[in-house]
Structure formats: C-alpha cells, structure tokens
Amino acid sequence: MNHYPFELEPLTFAYDSLEPMISKTTLEYHHDKHLQAYVNNLNNALSACEQLHACSIEAILSDLEAVPCEKREAVRNHGGGVFNHNFYFSLLKHDVAMSNKLEQVFVEAFGSIDAFVEQFTKASMSLFGSGWAWVVVNKRGELEIVQTKNQDTPLKDGLRPILTIDLWEHAYYLDYQNRRGSYVENYLKVIDWQQVETYYKEACGRL
C-alpha cells in the first residue's frame, strides 16, 4: 500500500540469492532493520499530518513544501529512506541481462556501456559521506547520472530515477568493509536490467 501508514514491503527474492555480491546478513540488516526503521519513523512523522495520509510517497517527496515545516525534515529524511530503499531493493536480481533496446539507450547517452560503468562508478566513488548515485531521466527526456546526499531523492528536482546505488556504509560494510569500489563493481552484477527498462519506459513513455 503506497500511502500512510506505510508498511515494510517484503523482498521479492531470497535473502541469500545475491551472494557473494551482497550477503544474506547484509540484506537481513539492510531490509529488515534499516528500512523498517525508516518506515516506522516516517509513519511517526506523518501521524499528525492527516492531509497527507492519502498521498503516495512519491507525491509527498515531490512536494515537500506541502509538509508542515516542523515535520518536513523528518519526512524528507525518513520518507526519502523509504522511497530510496524500496527503489534500490526493486532493482536487485541475479543474472538479468540488458536488452538490446536498453543497451542502445545507454550507448546513445554515455557513448558505450563501458563509459556508462566508468561514469556511474566515478559518481559512486566521489560522493563524500552517505548518499546515493542515480541514473535518472531528466526533464528533456535524457539519461543523466546524479548524486544525492543522505536520504534525499531526485524526485524533488523533477527527475525520474531508473537506477540507483545505496552508498551508505550499512549497504556494504559487512561484505566489503571500506572497499566501496568493490561493492560498486559487484553491485552492477546483480542489477535487474529488465526492471531498469520498465522504469525507463515509465519515465519516458517509450523505448
């Protein structure tokens, strides 16, 4: 149910199915503990904001000005945590290759798949502290790589995400410790490119 009270959406794959790229233990903590905390804190922040109880998380985050100012920071942080994590977990699956059509879209945007990987990795490595790197469809309908800090989302800037990576240490520290580069490299091996294609079609209305 995509409105208040928000619930923890179950993973659609087995916790151990992404090993060794992302371990069962990491997913248990990341999904069951971290995401659950964002869901609880978002519901607490929204409990007194009845005018927002029928709104989707995307609608709330796209218009944070509509959130009462004493709750805005909590909704921005915890609501962002809910949207970002649900989006991230929806992208994960073993061995789902990119279709030729989607590959063509990425090649047109970035020059080649290697160049995309290089730019996405650079954006992931250069983010200081905690946050996210994204591939988004911008207002001109073009693919673009952007970063957000903390739990900010690209939604408030009118950008439509199609791919993301969680760069908080809780996403990778148990498996990779400080080796963010190894995490990024392996993360790209467990992307469900079919789902990325679905998000691209939704964002552009075409492929």
* # binding residues, Mn ion (CB under 5 A): 3
Q: Does 152 bind Mn ion (CB under 5 A)?
A: no
Using rule CB under 5 A, residue 106 touches Mn ion? no
Contact window for Mn ion (CB under 5 A) among 47-55, 66-74, 89-97, 171-179: 171-179
* Cβ neighbours of residue 200 closer than 8 Å, sequence gap 6 or more: 102, 105, 137, 162, 207
Helices (H), 68-192: 69-74, 80-90, 100-110, 113-126, 173-176, 180-187
* Residue placing its CB nearer to Mn ion in the complex, 131 or 192: 131
Residues 125 and 55: beta-carbon distance below 8 Å: no
CA distance 115 to 16: 31
- Judged by beta carbon, residue 152 or residue 166, the one nearer Mn ion is 166
- Nearest-5° Cα angle at 11, 71 to 189: 105
Shortest distance (Å) from residue 85 CB to Mn ion:
6
Q: Which is nearer to Mn ion, 102 or 165 (CB)?
A: 165
Element (H, E) at 60: helix 57-62
Helices (H), 111-172: 113-126
Q: Which is nearer to Mn ion, 69 or 128 (CB)?
A: 128
Q: Considering only 104-112, 138-146, 148-156, 163-171, which stretch makes contact with Mn ion by CB under 5 A? A: 163-171
Nearest distance from residue 162's CB to Mn ion, in Å? 19
Stretch near Mn ion under the rule CB under 5 A, chosen from 11-19, 96-104, 114-122, 160-168: 160-168
Q: Residues 152, 166, 175, 197: which binds Mn ion (CB under 5 A)? A: 166
Site for Mn ion in 40-69 (CB under 5 A): none
CB 67 within 8 A of CB 162: no
- By C-beta, is 102 or 148 nearer to Mn ion? 148
Which two tokens mark 75? Answer: 């909704």
168 is a site residue for Mn ion (CB under 5 A): yes
Residue 26, token pair as written in the block:
């990491």
Q: Does 187 bind Mn ion (CB under 5 A)?
A: no
Answer yes or no: are the C-beta atoms of 116 and 110 closer than 8 Å.
yes
Which residues here bind Mn ion, judged by CB under 5 A?
Answer: 166, 168, 171
